[in-house]
Every structure is written in structure tokens, then in C-alpha cells.
Amino acid sequence: MRELKPYQTLAGAKAALDNGGRFYNLLALADDKRISKGELNKAAGVFGGEQKAFLFLHMAIAKLSDNQQAEVLSMLDRPLAKRYKSHGPQQLDPAAMNKARVGQLVVVDGYPRFHERKTHHAVVPMMAGKVMMLVPVETHYDGYQLFTTASGTGTPGWVSVKRPKVHFTESPTRFGGVIRQYTDEKQKTTGLFLEAIYYYRLDS
């Protein structure tokens, strides 16, 4: 999970996003008033898939005015703009997360309250020379309930983050990520949670 710094000005957003892409994006030009997939991926610091880049874009321009956001989005290449409109993230409140669909990109604001710490154990195949070996891997997660208000009333959503360097306090925070499904083997129940990819604090 990565802390994101939203753009504060329209000029700053345009300069960061209309960046010419990486050296192998031969058809992308900086400052040509168009934002290509390669340029968006470069600004987001991602390679390949668009999910993270779409999340980055939605959250990075969120502090601009509605008109300024629309101006930035109008710079997207037409195919990219079409995919962003169809598959970009939805802004939800914490309670609505429980009705989202698995795999959906979601951005949600709320007050996180620490709930539990878990460790996921898995075995990953890796090559050591010419020999395939099974290597045990541990991934550590912190689980939070996410409330709409500071008082913790209402139905919370659930947020899971890979063990961060920072522990979230109960201050307003924006999370962006993907809706996943969990299964509670003991209770024989399933539920939804947000696997967080980006965040930033709303009170800073």
C-alpha cells in the first residue's frame, strides 16, 4: 500500500500527467495536451495493468474543483477515457462497500478503527537454478473497520492493508483499492472487504 499525494493545482496535475511516458513509449509526447496510457502509468508508478493507474488518477485529482477534474479527464486518449469511464473506481461510503461486487475498484472515505492483525501463509513455487522449489511465504495484514463518522455509528466497511509502517488512527482517511471476498471457515460465512492499494489522510 502506498501513500498518495493529491495534486493541489490544475497546472501541477497537467504537468505530472502529460509527461511523455517512459523511454519506450515512443508515441507519447510530453506537454501535448493528451494523456496516454503510458503517461498515466508513469505518473502512477505502475507497469502493465490499468486498475492501479485508474485508482491513482481518481484519487490524485480529487482535491481539484469539479471543472478542473473534468478538464484533466478530457485530456485522456479516447480509448483510455472510455475504459476509465466504464471501469474506473466508484466513490462509496463505508456501508455501501458491503453491497459492492468482488473485483470492483472502490474509493472510500472514513474513520478507520483497528480490529485485528492476521498472517496469511502460502507456498510459492520458485526456481533455484534448474530446480523448482516450494517456498513458504508469510504476508501480514492489518484489518480495520471503516466508519462514516468519528463516533463509530452506522454499519462499517472493512479494510485490509498489508502490514504498513504506519498504524492508522481514527482520523479521516481516504482508501482506494479492490473489493475482495473473505470466508470465515469457523462461522461458515463470507463477506466483503477492501484490499487497500492507495491512501491519504483527509485532515492533512
Residue 160 and residue 190 in one domain: yes
Same domain flag for 79 and 139: no
Instruction: Report the percent of the chain where pLDDT is more than 90.
Output: 57
Claim to verify: residue 33 and residue 68 sit in the same structural domain: yes
Q: What is the domain extent for residue 96? A: 92-201
pLDDT band at 188 (very low <50, low <70, confident <90, very high): low
**Predicted confidence band at 113 (pLDDT cuts at 50, 70, 90)?**
very high
Residue 167's pLDDT band (boundaries 50, 70, 90)?
confident
Domain edge (last residue) among 88, 103, 127: 88
pLDDT class of 137 with cuts at 50, 70, 90: low
Instruction: List the grid coordinates of 181.
Output: 471476498
**What pLDDT, on a 0 to 100 scale, did the predictor assign at position 191?**
85
User: Buried b / exposed e across 56-94, counting CB within 10 Å, b at 16+?
Assistant: bbbbbbbbbeeebbeebbebbbeebeeebeeebbeebeb
The CA-atom distances, in angstroms, between 105 and each of 65, 97, 178 are: 22, 11, 5
What single-letter DSSP state applies at residue 154?
A: S
DSSP-derived secondary structure for 36-104: -HHHHHHHHT--S-SHHHHHHHHHHTTTS-HHHHHHHHTTB-HHHHHHHHHHS-EEE-GGGGGGSPTT-
As a whole number of angstroms, the distance between CA 1 and CA 180 comes to: 15
- Pick from 41, 60, 88: which residue ends a domain? 88
The pTM (predicted TM-score) of the whole model is 0.84
Is pLDDT larger for residue 27 or for residue 58? 58
45 and 81 housed in the same domain: yes
Parallel, antiparallel, or unpaired: how do β-strands 105-128 and 157-162 relate? unpaired
Are 117 and 82 in the same domain? no
CB-based contacts of 17-21 (< 8 A; 24+ apart in sequence)? 17/43, 17/57, 17/72, 17/75, 18/75, 19/43
Residues 105 and 79 in one domain: no
**Residue that is last in its domain, among 43, 73, 88:** 88
Find cell 471476498 and name the residue.
181
State the CATH number of the domain containing residue 113: 2.40.50.140
Looking at the fold, whether 181 and 112 belong to one and the same domain comes out as yes
Residues 113 and 191 in one domain: yes
110-127: average pLDDT: 78
**What's the average model confidence in pLDDT over 133-147?**
80
Looking at the fold, whether 117 and 100 belong to one and the same domain comes out as yes
Structural domain total, the chain: 2
7-39 pLDDT per residue, tens: 999 999 999 999 888 876 766 778 788 999 999
Same structural domain for residues 133 and 63?
A: no
Q: Are 96 and 190 part of one and the same domain? A: yes
Amino acid, res. 16: A
Residues 103 and 183 in one domain: yes
